[in-house]
Homo-oligomer: A and B are copies of this chain.
Amino acid sequence: MSDWINKIKFNEKGLVPAIAQEIRTGKVLMLAWMNSEAVKKTLELGTAVYYSRSRDKLWVKGETSGQFQVLNDLRLDCDGDAILVLVEQKKDIACHTGRETCFYRSYEDNDWKELII
C-alpha cells in the first residue's frame, strides 16, 4: 500500500467515516463509510465509492440511481480518522428517500421534525 493510504486510520473493521459535502451548495449530504479499496476506487473513477456495511461490499454511489457524486476533492482530517469528500451531486439527490440530503430531520421540542428540503 502507498504511504498516503497508510495515513488514513481505518478502524478495527478497516473502515473510515466519509462525509459527503456538495461543493456548490455547501450542504452536507450524507455520512457513509470507506475501506481502503473504496478510497482508491473513488480516486480512480472520480466519483464517490463507499463500502456498504449492510451489503458488505463496495458501492459505487449512483450506480443504479444515476445519483453519482462526482469527486471534486478528498480531504483528510488532523488525526487521519475521518474523510471529507467534496462532490458535485448528480440529479441533486443524495438520499435514498429522494431528498437532497440525508440530514432532513431537525431536533425540536423533544422530537425530530422533517424539514422541507
B107 near A28 with CB under 8 A, answer no
Would you list which residues of chain A between 5 and 56 have a CB under 8 Å from chain B?
7, 17, 19, 21, 26-28, 30-31, 43
Closest Cβ–Cβ distance, residue A55 to chain B (whole Å): 14
A59 at the interface (CB under 8 A from B): no
| Minimum CB distance partner of A32 in chain B | B82
A73's partner among B4, B106, B110 (CB-CB below 8 A) is B106
CA distance A7 to B38 in the complex (A): 29
A28's partner among B76, B84, B95, B99 (CB-CB below 8 A) is B84
Given known contacts A17-B17, A19-B19, A84-B103, is B30 in contact with A77 (CB within 8 Å)?
yes
What are 6 A-B residue pairs whose CB atoms fall within 8 Å in the complex?
A: A3-B110, A4-B110, A4-B111, A31-B77, A43-B107, A73-B107
10 nearest A-B residue pairs (beta carbon): A26-B26, A31-B82, A75-B103, A74-B107, A77-B102, A76-B105, A84-B103, A78-B102, A4-B111, A77-B103
